[in-house]
Structure 1
Amino acid sequence: MTRFNQIKTIIGSSPQYEATQLDFGEHDSFVQRQADTPGTLLRIRPYKENNGIADGAGVLQSVHDVTTNFRGKNTSDHHSFEVWFDEGKIKFYMHAATEAAADKFRRRVGNNYANSEVFPVEEGYAFPVIDADEYVAGAWLEMEKIPYYPIRHHNSEGFETDPYGEITSEMLSLDESTVVTQVVFRPAKQSWTDGDRFKHNSVDELAHALRQGTSVGWLNPRTRPPSEKDKQAAKTIEQQRGQQAFHVNIRVLAASSEQDEAEARARGVAGMFRKYYNAITEQGLDDKPVWHRRESKRATRLRQFVERMR
């Protein structure tokens, strides 16, 4: 291959789901035991008859405890909600950073989800075991626009079917395979809608700009009047002010002895999050596969990705 073709291949390469076997050094497997993991891991056994997402929003409020240092920097704890397909079963977990947060979560789940069980995992694994002979694929989710544009949720456009059910259905795999969906979240300060320290790029500024219309054209620029959709989006964005929010990272991981299966599960589960697209604000979630065109570097990135999830 000529140097020109090599450069063309590099530039033309786009991230894709390509499962790879990982080297865990002196260990034959990736193992994360509960005894070696900080915080409290809670196992959740939900009762089927509940109000789903609406009640879930109330549970999140129980751990929205913002702490700051003397400079006003957000020092709040990170927590995570995880869904595992492991040992042929779907399992739900909450990883609380502190025992106090775990206690709040347990009590709130008890109030919001009658007949559901929440109990601490005292021993065993804090993350599914991944063997060195398994193929691993992963992805993370990113917003298409800045966070002031909300994604689709139960109070905005709603859902025809339960998105939780669709995601867990897509996670179902071969009994010996593993799939993990992880949502890491940290409470945001009340000022999250204020923009930067000079109050630029706030929700008010963005809503105002949408109501002013859009500049179009290059040679003969003109302002296009705001559409009804622009006005509706501006109103939706303004409504974010005063709302509780979280900084969030969403990750998807799949491991299987079958390379195609690992790729299909990672691609399928991450792709399910596109259903959160909000037609009014045109906000959505894009899946970003963990990838590199060179296998050795791809394996390194995937191993680092796995280690961040533990």
Structure 2
Amino acid sequence: MTRLKQIRKILSSSPRYKATQLDYGEHDSFVQQQADTPGTLLRIRPYKENEGVVDGAGVLQSVHDVTTNFRGKNTSDHHSFEVWFDEGKIRFYMHAASEAAADKFRRRVGNNYANSEVFQVEEAPAFPIIGSDEYVAGAWLEMEKIPYYPIRHHNSEGFETDPYGEITSEMLSLDESTVVTQVIFRPAKQSWTDGDRFKHNSVDELAHALRQGTSVGWINPQTRPPSAKDKQAAKTIEQQRGEQAFHVNIRVLAASVEQDEAESRAHGVAGMFRKYYNAITEQGLSDTPVWHRRERKRAKRLRRFVQRMSDREWVDRHMIMTVDELAGVAHIPNTEIETPKIDWRYTQRGDRVPADLGQYEQSADSSASTEHNVNNRGHNGV
């Protein structure tokens, strides 16, 4: 085999963004109804004047409820924070695993994000509708190193501007297209920094190793003294001991009747998460496209990916984030971002509206577009 053929073979088998049309059997679209989805979907219409990431950290701290069984195994529920570009608008959602959790989210989001509206989505589908004529692309976001190396957040290096500015801007697409970012989070036990003898050391052991220097060379190995950056990274890792944290999944999905548009949006949005790279710990988020070189198997994987997202299914991806880290990737933005088509609330009035979608849609600002209506789209549920 020539070198050129070897290169082509490697490239042809490397994961990449390849949007594919999906078969929904006897139905002409994928529709996830509320009744088919465990838990409660909440929509948030944020008031633009808020503290953004800082308020997001406050919400997450208040819902960090760990439950364990008699063996000490973590049995905590998982919830999700989602941003949808759907029907030409960018909207914010939270999905709670139970009614009790939904009630807590309503109160916590309402308390932290003053003047924002939080209400239950009841009649509309629980996930954006995806037609069989649309091409679908998706990706997982993963940590490049083991969890104890934190990504960038507002208390570590900080952000010059809210990273959601670029993420939401990249989500803007054709009005008929759909783009979704989904962050599923599950509270971790307080012992999360103790390490796992089968996977990685504790934060103390990792910090100690960084302070001892780095072994270099193969034939005549030597220990390179720790640099100032190594010492700073060790301190950053060590400071996580005792902090609250969450196990995390991050997914990105794009669907469009234009194949190139679906691929560009999925690739572009996933790429924006690289803004969370931490130069001190050299930790960042990398994207892994849902892919297979054979179209039939690729379609099967993408169907499974869409179903997992709509079900809010938890998959252990061995990714843990502190409250501050998670707040950076799951928060309500504010006036700092200038992305158009965001479903803001522009008026200050009372607290949250009742959790009744029908009443809300009749009284909402004229700038707010309506939720999906299956009959208007002419689709049948699956």
Which amino acid letter does the alignment assign opposite residue 69 of structure 1?
N
Separation of aligned partners in 2, 1:200 and 1:180: 32
Partner Cα separation in structure 2 for residue 86 and residue 35 of structure 1: 21
Deviation at residue 165 of structure 1 after TM alignment: 2.0
For each residue in 1:114-148, what CA deviation from the matched residue of structure 2 results, as whole angstroms up to 9, or x when unmatched?
11110111111100000001000000100000000
Which blocks of at least 5 consecutive residues in structure 2 are unaligned? 311-382
Partner of 1:255, secondary structure, is: strand
What SS does the aligned partner of 1:174 have? Answer: coil
Q: Which amino acid aligns with 2:81?
A: F
Give the distance between the partners of 1:10 and 1:217, measured in 2 at CA: 32
Q: Secondary structure at the match of 1:192?
A: helix
What amino acid is aligned across from residue 72 of structure 1 in structure 2? G
User: Does the CA contact (< 8 Å) of 1:35 and 1:123 recur in 2?
Assistant: no
- Confirm whether residue 20 of structure 1 aligns to residue 20 of structure 2: yes
Counterpart of 1:230 in structure 2: which amino acid? D
Distance in 1 (CA, whole Å) between partners of 2:199 and 2:39 is: 36
1:26-74 C-alpha deviation (Å, 9 max, x unpaired): 2211110112211111000011111100110111122211011111111
What is the RMSD of the two structures over their aligned residues, measured on CA atoms? 1.8
2:231 corresponds to: 231
Please tell me the residue identity of whatever aligns with 2:281: T
Worse-superposed segment, 34-43 or 221-230: 34-43
Aligned-partner Cα distance in 2 for 1:185–1:92:
16
Per-residue displacement from partner, 1:133-177 (whole Å, max 9, x unpaired)?
A: 100000010000000000000101111111122211110100000
Identity %: 87
Residue in structure 2 matched with residue 97 of structure 1 by the alignment:
97
Task: Provide the rounded CA distance (Å) in 2 between the counterparts of 1:60 and 1:200.
Answer: 26
Aligned counterparts, 1:1-310, within 5 A: 10-12=9-11, 13-196=13-196, 201-310=201-310
Q: Is the Cα–Cα contact under 8 Å of residues 21 and 132 in structure 1 kept in the other structure?
A: yes
Secondary structure at the counterpart of residue 280 of structure 1: coil
Q: Deviations over 1:237-271 (max 9, x none)?
A: 00111111010000000000000100010001000
- Between the aligned partners of 1:216 and 1:276, the Cα distance in structure 2 is 29
One-letter amino acid of the counterpart of residue 270, structure 2: A
- Number of equivalences: 309
Deviations along 1:81-124, one digit per CA (max 9) or x if unpaired, are 11000000001100000111111111111111111110111111
CA distance in 2, matches of 1:71, 1:198: 19
Distance of 1:100 and 1:169 partners within structure 2: 34
Q: For 1:85 and 1:79, locate their aligned partners in 2 and report how far apart those are by CA, in whole Å.
A: 20
CA–CA separation in structure 1 for the residues paired with 2:205 and 2:45: 44
Partners of 1:91 and 1:198 in 2: CA distance? 41
Moved more, 101-110 or 125-134: 101-110
Structure 1: how far apart are the matches of 2:51 and 2:176?
32
* Greater fraction strand: 1
Partner amino acid, structure 2, of 1:76: S
2:146·2:200 contact (CA, 8 Å) conserved in 1? no
Amino acid at match of 2:228: E
Query: TM-score normalized by structure 1?
Result: 0.96
Name the amino acid aligned to 1:47: Y
Q: 1:233 to 1:191 in 2, by over 3 A?
A: same
